[in-house]
Chains A and B, each alone.
Chain A
Amino acid sequence: MDCNTCDTAPAIVINKPEVVNVNLTITTKAKEMLDSAFDGDMSHALLVGVLSGGCSGYMYDLQIVESTDQDCQELSVDGFRVLVPNASSHLLDGIEIDYVDRMMGGGFKINNPNASSSCGCGESFA
């Protein structure tokens, strides 16, 4: 392979999806769990993102952060500061953040109207 060709090779244009102004909701149960997780420190924010991969193509990424270097839109939802990366905003508009209790351990669950399918564990969607 001649690396000189690599520098001049035609780049494949990756079409960035249009940035969407995200609306999202948080269920009562999820609010209770977030209250507990934040422990009153509202200087932090809930980062709701998407990673590529997972069984179905995309994976949710929920984090409590002070800040992020990602290009995000900042929302205020029920008193929580929520950050949504613009790069994945088209996948997250309209989601509901829920919390479910299960015998095998509970966790946050995203109900996503943009998802056509999801994997068994619920962390991945297409």
Chain B
Amino acid sequence: MGIFQLDAYVLIIQGKDRLSFIDGLSTNKVDGDCSTVFTTTAAKIIDLVDVIDMGDFIAIVGHQPYKENLIQHISKRVLNQDISIADISANNSVYLSTEDVDVVDKITKRNTWRGWLLVAPNSVSLEADMTEEDFSEYRVANMIPHQGHEITPNVHPLACGLGDLVHEAKGCYIGQEILARMRSRGRQGKELVRLPNPVEGATTIGVNHSLAIVRLKSGE
């Protein structure tokens, strides 16, 4: 369909403990490129981020309005680890392409569950040809939750379609106890669905269908 510019931040994390640090604080197994979710002790979402392993450092790409909460969350947990964090958001723009596109070397491209993530320095121009409506339609068609719509601080990852990013066997991380209990008891409370319009309480409205987070019936 095209390329959409995300309202995103880019943080770089350097130091030998960079991967284990992020792994210990988020839901997915972090040992390289991946998407993962930072959650509170109550398993509510702080942000969904894409982790890009650049070799000497990692970049984490998240939703700009959630940046300060994420920084506050992770920075207070730097104790003895070899970790430094820098914000390169002002120097880069972030895009999501629905198709694999050829890009110049300066643009970092990663294939993610949402599409191809492109991180471009400001010196490189990239045309974003998708409108907000186009992007919503793409997300509705592919059941892709997005920050500010389905992914908010009020929900846990299992309720908004991020269950695939909650690793079942990685061990402890913040919020793990609650998410593991929900899974083991089969009680996640709510789930992301796509329904034909009109949809009451829709989180993303498409032309014919919409996304919504609905309460599961008892026992589901």
Are B24 and A51 interface neighbours, CB within 8 A? Answer: yes
Q: A59-B172, A87-B80 are in contact. List 6 more A-B contacts (CB 8 A).
A: A1-B52, A1-B119, A6-B12, A12-B86, A14-B85, A119-B177
Are A14 and B78 interface neighbours, CB within 8 A? Answer: yes
**What's the Cα separation between A123 and B87 when bound, in Å?**
33
Give which listed residue, A55, A87, A123, contacts B173 with CB less than 8 A: A55
Shortest Cβ distance from residue B94 to the other chain A in the assembled complex, whole angstroms: 10
For residue B121, which residues in chain A have a CB less than 8 angstroms away from its CB? 1-2, 5
Are B87 and A10 interface neighbours, CB within 8 A? Answer: yes
Known: A6-B88, A51-B24. A1 touches B54 (CB 8 A): yes
**What's the Cα separation between A15 and B74 when bound, in Å?**
11
Known: A54-B172, A55-B175, A56-B174. A2 touches B92 (CB 8 A): yes
For residue B77, which residues in chain A have a CB less than 8 angstroms away from its CB? 52-53, 57-58
B112 sits at the interface (CB 8 A)? no
Shortest Cβ distance from residue A20 to the other chain B in the assembled complex, whole angstroms: 13
B41 sits at the interface (CB 8 A)? yes
Number of A-B contacts (CB under 8 A): 100
Per the 8 Å Cβ criterion, residues 75-131 of B in contact with A are 75-81, 83-88, 91-92, 106-108, 119-121, 123-124
**What's the Cα separation between A2 and B10 when bound, in Å?**
12
A104 sits at the interface (CB 8 A)? no
**What's the Cα separation between A126 and B178 when bound, in Å?**
14
Are B173 and A12 interface neighbours, CB within 8 A? Answer: no
Between A and B, 13 residue pairs with Cβ closer than 8 Å are: A1-B10, A1-B119, A5-B91, A5-B121, A9-B12, A11-B86, A53-B25, A53-B173, A55-B174, A56-B177, A57-B41, A58-B77, A126-B41
Are A85 and B11 interface neighbours, CB within 8 A? Answer: no
Known: A1-B54, A55-B41, A55-B173. A6 touches B86 (CB 8 A): yes
Q: Identify the B interface with A (CB < 8 A).
A: 10-12, 21, 24-25, 41, 52, 54, 57, 59, 71, 75-81, 83-88, 91-92, 106-108, 119-121, 123-124, 172-177
Shortest Cβ distance from residue A120 to the other chain B in the assembled complex, whole angstroms: 6
Residue of B nearest to A52 (CB): B77
Known: A53-B173, A119-B177. A1 touches B84 (CB 8 A): no
A114 sits at the interface (CB 8 A)? no
For residue B92, which residues in chain A have a CB less than 8 angstroms away from its CB? 1-2, 5
Residue of B nearest to A117 (CB): B41
For residue A58, which residues in chain B have a CB less than 8 angstroms away from its CB? 77
The listed residue with most B CB atoms (<10 A of its CB), out of A6, A50, A51, A85, is A6
**What's the Cα separation between A15 and B88 when bound, in Å?**
19
Are A88 and B172 interface neighbours, CB within 8 A? Answer: no
For residue B78, which residues in chain A have a CB less than 8 angstroms away from its CB? 14, 52
**What's the Cα separation between A15 and B77 when bound, in Å?**
10
**What's the Cα separation between A58 and B88 when bound, in Å?**
28
For residue A120, which residues in chain B have a CB less than 8 angstroms away from its CB? 177
For residue A14, which residues in chain B have a CB less than 8 angstroms away from its CB? 75, 78, 83-85
